[in-house]
Chains A and B, each alone.
Chain A
Amino acid sequence: MSLRRFFRREQWDRERSEEIESYVRIETDENVARGLPYAEARAAALRKLGNRTVIREEIYRMNTVTFLDTLVGDIRYGLRMFARSPTFTAAALLTLAIGIGANTAVFSVVNSVLVRPLRYPKAEELVALHQDAPGAAGLANAADGLALSPSMYFTYAEQNRTFQALGVWLAGTANVTGLAEPEQVRTVSVSDGVLQALGVPPTAGRWLLAADQIPQAPEPMSFTRRSSTVMLSYGYWQRHFGGDRSAIGRSLTVDSLPRQIVGIMPKGFRIVKTEPDLILPLAFDRSRVILAGFAFNGIGRLKPGVTIVQANADLARLLPVWMDTWTNGPGTGGGRWYENWKIRPTIRPLKQQVVGNVGDVLWVVMGTIALVMLIACANVTNLLLVRAEARQHELALRAALGARVARIVRSLLVESVMLGLMGGALGVGVAYAGLRLLVAIGPADLPRLNEISVDARTFAFTLILSVFSGLLLGLVPALRYAGPRISAALQSAGRTLSVSRERHRARNLLVVAQVAIALVLLVSAGLMIRTAQALRTIEPGFTGAEHLQTVRIAIPSSLIPEPQRVIRTQNDLADRLAVIPGVTSVGFAREAPMEMEPPNWDNVFPEGKVYAGNVAPLRRFENISPGFLHTTGARLVAGRELTWTDVYGLRPMVLISENLAREFWGTPAAAIGKRLRQYPSMPWQEVIGVVQDVRQNGIQEKAPEIVYWPAMMPNYFVRNAAPVVTRAVTFVIRSERAGTEGFVTQVRQAVWAVNASLPLASVRTMREIYEESLATTSFTLVMMGIAGAMALMLGLIGIYGVISYAVSQRTREIGIRVALGAEPGALRRLFVRYGLALAGAGTAMGLVAAAGLTRLMKSVLFGISPVDPLTYTAVPLILVAATVLASYLPARRAAAVDPVKTLRAE
Chain B
Amino acid sequence: MLVLRTLVLAPAHGHTIAHAIERGSGDVLQVEHGSLYPALHRLEDRGWIVSFWGTSENNRKAKYYRLTPAGRKQLTVQTTRWEQVVRAIGRVLKPATK
Contact = CB atoms under 8 A, between A and B. Distances in A.
A5 B46 CA distance: 12
Contacts of B63: 15, 18-19, 22
Contacts of A391: none
Contact of A50 (B15, B35, B56, B61): B35
A63 to B, nearest CB: 8
Contact of A22 (B33, B35, B41, B61): B61
Interface string A26-42: 11010000000000000
A630 interface: no
A785 to B, nearest CB: 63
B11 interface: no
B13 interface: yes
A29 B58 contact: yes
Given A29-B60, A48-B32, A20 B15 contact: no
Given A19-B14, A22-B13, A49-B32, A59 B62 contact: no
B34 A5 contact: no
Interface in A60-86: 62
Interface in B24-63: 32-35, 37-38, 41-42, 45, 56, 58, 60-63
A26 B15 contact: yes
- Which label, helix, strand, loop or mixed, suits the secondary structure of the B interface? helix
Chain B CB within 10 Å, residue with most, of A5, A27, A52: A27
Given A26-B15, A29-B60, A19 B38 contact: no
A54 B38 CA distance: 10
B41 A16 contact: yes
B62 A26 contact: yes
A27 B15 contact: yes
B34 A26 contact: no
A886 B15 CA distance: 76
Interface residues of B, number: 19
A627 B34 CA distance: 108
A15 to B, nearest CB: 8
A58 interface: yes
A51 interface: yes
Contacts, number: 64
B56 A26 contact: yes
B32 A16 contact: no
A50 B41 contact: no
A62 B58 CA distance: 32
B55 to A, nearest CB: 10
A19 B60 contact: no
A29 B55 CA distance: 14
Contacts of B15: 22-23, 26-27
B58 A19 contact: no
Contact of B38 (A15, A18, A23, A55): A55
B32 A50 contact: yes
A581 B14 CA distance: 107
Interface in B72-90: none
Interface string B1-21: 000000000000111001000
Contacts of A48: 32-33
Given A22-B56, A62-B41, A52 B34 contact: yes
A774 to B, nearest CB: 71
Chain B CB within 10 Å, residue with most, of A19, A23, A27, A62: A23
Nearest to A17: B37
Contacts of A52: 34
A50 B60 contact: no
Contacts of B38: 55, 58-59, 62
Interface string A407-422: 0000000000000000
Nearest to B57: A26
Contact of A26 (B32, B37, B41, B60): B60
Contact of A49 (B13, B33, B60): B33
Given A22-B63, A23-B15, A55 B56 contact: no
Given A5-B45, A23-B14, A26-B56, A16 B37 contact: yes
Given A22-B61, A22-B62, A26-B62, A59 B32 contact: no
Contacts of A58: 38
Contacts of B34: 20, 49-52, 54-55
A810 to B, nearest CB: 58
A20 B60 CA distance: 12
Interface in A762-800: none
A273 interface: no
Contact of A55 (B37, B42, B45, B58): B37
Contacts of B45: 5, 62
A25 interface: yes
A58 B45 CA distance: 14
Contacts of A59: 37-38, 41
Contacts of A50: 32-35
Nearest to A58: B38
A18 B62 CA distance: 9
Nearest to A1: B45
Contacts of A18: 61, 63
B33 A23 contact: yes
B33 A19 contact: no
Given A22-B15, A54-B34, 16 more contacts: A12-B41, A16-B37, A18-B61, A19-B37, A22-B14, A22-B56, A23-B15, A23-B18, A26-B13, A26-B62, A48-B32, A48-B33, A50-B34, A55-B37, A55-B38, A62-B45
Interface of B: 13-15, 18, 32-35, 37-38, 41-42, 45, 56, 58, 60-63
23 contacts: A16-B41, A18-B61, A19-B14, A19-B63, A22-B15, A22-B60, A23-B14, A23-B15, A23-B62, A26-B56, A26-B60, A26-B62, A27-B33, A48-B33, A49-B32, A49-B34, A50-B32, A50-B35, A52-B34, A55-B38, A59-B37, A62-B41, A62-B42
Q: Which 3 pairs, one residue from A and one from B, show the smallest C-beta to C-beta distance? A: A50-B32, A50-B34, A49-B34
